Amino acid sequence: MEPHVHSAVVHLAATVDLFKLYSSEESSKESSEGSTKGSWRGNSEGSTKGSWRGNSEGSTKGSLRGNSEGSTKGSSRGNSEGSTKGSSRGNSEGMLTMKRSSRGKVCLVKGSSLEQEAKTSVMKPEGLETIFNSSERYPDFTFKWFRKMDSLRVLYLGRWEQTATRHIEVESTKSLKDIKYLKNLRLASFQGISRIEQLENYICQLSKLVILDLKACYNLERLPEDIFLLKRLIYLDVSECYMLDGMPKGIAELSNLEVLKGFVISQSDDESKCAVKNLEKLRKLSITVNKRSFKVEKLMESLRDLKKLGSLKIAWGALFPKEESKKNEMIKEQVEKEEDGRNEEANLEEGNKHDEVNAESLKSDKVVEGEKKKSPST
């Protein structure tokens, strides 16, 4: 499956020994009535309880769906009895609303930013462990909660679907600096969120961070220089960040990294000294090349010591606008010179032909005039 929540993120997070997304105590308390108790994993009657996995009777089918007895229909709904004992609940009109569960989980739904619970004083975010964005377009209101969420372990604000049709953006990244207060954060995803132009060094203070998902942050231009401080980082995805034109040198010090997607080789980089060549735990690596004189052979030689590397993808990025513009100007000048040369040759040739015609005309006039003088007058 492609690298989205249900495979590359949740599965990895659940299997590494460093932490568990959901405790065994929570799993044992899940009922068999199809309720959605805030953890999205499917049971035998179609409940969605933990990692978007369904069974033969309650498959999730990629969009948090249960079975016929308990379909969630893409928005964390419970079974036919309407049980939603988790992190999103229906109001009197049947619309889903954002609610905090008794287990410290919150699921953001469409319109959550407009609800009373969006206010810090109402939500009381102390003790929250999981925030998951199901369908909220503007999730940045949660940034105001950061100072009070030192227990938060999972922050998934980005897009989780395999489709890019749902737009997510932040109006301001000013409060994002408060992410440094999330000292117990293990998973952070901003996938597909627009208007995040850079991540400052404050995110590097999250010493327990294991998964950082920045895929398709189209405005992202720079990663923090102190990224080497994220010593426990296992998964880093910066693929489809088309404005990103280089990587910080600190990448070379992320010794626990197993998955790296979207690594950029810029024009100034030497592929024979690739920064990831000493990351011995790497299993998956994808590279975007923004360099004209790139030599694949040199890169492969550089990566030869990565014995655990099982997947390597290399893609070529777009040409640099300035460089391409300069090249186009040079081509245009050359074409103009060639055209000028051809025009001069054509003009010279036409002039020579004109002179020849005039000479022939003058010669024939002289012949006619000579013949007139020789002939007797009548």
Kindly state the helix (H) or strand (E) to which residue 370 belongs, with its residue range.
helix 321-374
Could you report the per-residue pLDDT of 134-193, keeping only the tens digit for each?
A: 999 999 999 999 999 999 999 999 998 877 678 899 988 888 999 999 999 999 999 999
Q: Which domain holds residue 230?
A: 87-323
Cβ-Cβ contacts under 8 Å for 172 (sequence gap 6 or more)? 140
Which residue from 115, 130, 148 is spatially nearest to 38, judged by alpha carbons? 130
Q: Decide which of 296 and 54 is more confident.
A: 296
Query: What pLDDT shows up at residue 177?
Result: 93
One domain, residues 197 and 125: yes
Are residues 52 and 137 located together in one domain of the fold?
A: no
Beta strands 193-194 and 187-189 are unpaired
Q: Report helix, strand or coil for 296.
A: helix
What pLDDT band is residue 366 in, cutting at 50, 70 and 90?
low
Q: What percent of the chain has pLDDT over 70?
A: 58
Q: What is the pLDDT of residue 293?
A: 87
Regarding pTM above 0.85, the answer is no
CA-to-CA distance for 272 and 298, rounded, in angstroms? 5
Residues 6+ apart with CB under 8 A from 12: 211, 234, 235, 259
Higher pLDDT, 368 or 333: 333
Q: Are both 80 and 134 inside the same structural domain?
A: no
DSSP 3-state assignment of 338?
helix
Q: In this predicted model, what pLDDT tens digit does every residue of 186-224 receive, in sequence order?
A: 999 999 999 999 999 999 999 999 999 999 999 999 999
pLDDT at 321 > cutoff 90: no
Q: Which of 300, 305, 316, 306 is nearest to 258 (CA)?
A: 306
Domain count, the chain: 3
Residue type, 62: G
Judge if 220 and 278 occupy the same domain.
Answer: yes
What percentage of residues in the chain have a pLDDT greater than 90? 50
Residue 200 sits in the same domain as residue 285: yes
| Coil vs helix vs strand at 369 | helix
The pLDDT of residue 173: 87
Is the distance from CB of 156 to CB of 180 less than 8 angstroms? no
Position 165, amino acid: T
Report pLDDT for 240.
94
**182 & 270 share domain:** yes
Q: Which of 65, 86, 107 is the last residue of a domain?
A: 86
Which of 54 and 342 is assigned the larger pLDDT?
Answer: 342
8-state DSSP, 110: T
Q: Are residues 123 and 200 in the same domain?
A: yes
54 and 171 co-located in one domain? no
Burial class of residue 174 (count of CB atoms within 10 Å of its CB; 0-12, 13-18, 19+): exposed
Residue 170 sits in the same domain as residue 248: yes
Asked whether the predicted pLDDT for residue 55 surpasses 70, the reply is no
pLDDT per residue as tens digits for the range 222-244: 999 999 999 999 999 999 999 99
Single out the residue in 323, 346, 362 at which a domain terminates: 323
What CATH number has the domain bearing residue 223? 3.80.10.10
What pLDDT is attached to residue 256? 97
pLDDT at residue 169 in the model: 94
- Examine the fold and report which residue of 86, 121, 154 is the final residue of a domain before the chain moves on: 86
13 closest CA partner among 130, 110, 157, 163: 130
- Give every CB contact of residue 31 below 8 A, 6+ residues apart in sequence: 37, 47
Q: What is the mean pLDDT of the chain?
A: 75
What region, left, alpha or beta, does residue 245 occupy, with left being phi > 0 and alpha being psi -120 to 50 degrees? alpha
- Rounded Cα–Cα distance for residues 335 and 182 (Å): 59
The answer on 151 and 268 residing in a single domain is yes
Residue 64's pLDDT band (cuts 50, 70, 90): very low
334 DSSP assignment: H
Strongest mean pLDDT among 29-33, 167-171, 366-370: 167-171
Same structural domain, 183 and 243: yes
The answer to whether residues 216 and 285 belong to one domain is yes
What is d(CA 209, CA 240) in angstroms, rounded to the nearest whole number?
A: 22
What's the whole-number mean pLDDT along residues 310-337?
66
